[in-house]
Homo-oligomer: A and B are copies of this chain.
Amino acid sequence: MSQKIKIGIIGGAGYTGGELVRLLLNHPNAQLQYVVSKSQQGKDLYEIHQDLTGETDLAFCATAEKGADLTFLCMSHGDAKKFLDENKFLYDAKIIDLSRDFRISRQSTGDSWQETAFIYGLPELNREKIKKANYIANPGCFATAIQLGLLPLAAKGLLNADINVNATTGSTGAGRSLNATTHFSWRNDNLSVYKVFEHEHLAEINQSIKQLQNSFSDEISFIPQRGAFSRGILAAITVNIGLSQSEVENLFKIYYAEHPFVHLVKTVDVKQITNTNKCFMQLIKHKNQLAIVTVIDNLLKGASGQAVQNMNLMFGLEETTGLKLKANVY
């Protein structure tokens, strides 16, 4: 394409907003038109994202501008919907929302239920729909890591027993705001559980599984953990399944054959994919148990990288454009 995509970002001072800026400044087909931050308006981007010193002279502005081809919403859950209600003109262009507000497609509107106009933006599930979509609900980070481990099985109707998930997130998953569990003195050298069995991402995971395997009615027992690392998610999933190791591997290979960011590997660790948009996964079969261990960077494949992947699809670009990132592996 000859012309660059003009882009607006709403909520650019946080982690996901910052990552989007970093990705888009180096994206050959993107042009940052404006970046909104209420709390930091007037400041240069590089005052908040100091690593950008020397890369951009853009400053944070206070309100959304007209004329963008695409708006990314990087706001807290609840705020995105509200912001769009107050800035309805944004619906005239394309939208990618990184919050939770539009992920569940069938939402209650008081008495009745209504389908949202947003497509759930997990390319490995909905690539063709995303290509044609105007509005995308970008998946959650845990939800991405867990779904990528389950989609190939759901596509074959093989999820017929309870699923156990234990997934650990880096601290950036909790965002830039300060709280007791992101205090260095607490989190360093530590590990903890939270929201046991009740993490809010379960809703979107269940929705995606049922999209592929409508019969699914079992429980996903999910124990989220907070790890002593900054970036990344490792999800360890256990399911009961009759297939052999090689049958399972084959099934996953076929499912992900045309998906450039997902790879089966022999052993998996978080730093293999840190600072990239990749998802690596390892499969281990033992008796009737299958362990699926997936790793992603929560801020990239789990947020801003996936958002750019969706942008690429929506604008007819190669899916990996601007996403061939050097891993931070050491």
Contacts and interface: CB of A to CB of B under 8 A. Distances in A.
Interface of A: 15, 18, 22-23, 26, 49-54, 164, 166, 168, 170-172, 174, 176, 178-180, 182-194, 196-198, 219, 221, 223, 225, 227-232, 234, 236, 238, 260, 263, 265, 267-276, 278, 280, 282, 284, 286-287, 289, 291, 293, 299, 324-330
Nearest to A271: B190
A265 B50 contact: yes
Given A184-B171, A184-B182, A263-B54, A231 B330 contact: yes
Contact of A328 (B49, B186, B194, B231): B231
Contacts of A284: 196-197
B289 A190 contact: no
B329 A51 contact: yes
Contacts of A197: 284, 286-287, 289, 291
B190 A299 contact: no
A13 to B, nearest CB: 12
Contacts of A267: 50, 192, 194
A273 B51 contact: yes
Contacts of A170: 185, 189
B184 A187 contact: yes
Contacts of A228: 184, 188, 227-229
A261 B270 CA distance: 29
Nearest to A260: B54
A51 B275 CA distance: 10
Copies of this chain in its oligomeric complex: 4
Nearest to A189: B229
Q: Which of A50, A182, A194 has the most CB of B within 10 A?
A: A50
A185 B192 contact: no
Given A23-B326, A164-B221, 10 more contacts: A18-B329, A164-B164, A184-B187, A184-B188, A188-B229, A193-B236, A193-B293, A197-B284, A227-B227, A227-B228
A164 B234 contact: no
A263 B185 contact: no
A53 to B, nearest CB: 5
Contacts of A329: 18, 22, 49-51
Contacts of A286: 196-198, 221
A149 to B, nearest CB: 13
B189 A231 contact: yes
Given A188-B171, A263-B53, A22 B326 contact: yes
17 contacts: A18-B330, A50-B280, A168-B225, A171-B183, A183-B183, A183-B184, A186-B269, A189-B270, A190-B229, A190-B269, A197-B284, A198-B286, A228-B228, A231-B328, A275-B275, A275-B328, A328-B328
A79 B274 CA distance: 32
A274 B190 CA distance: 9
Nearest to A51: B327
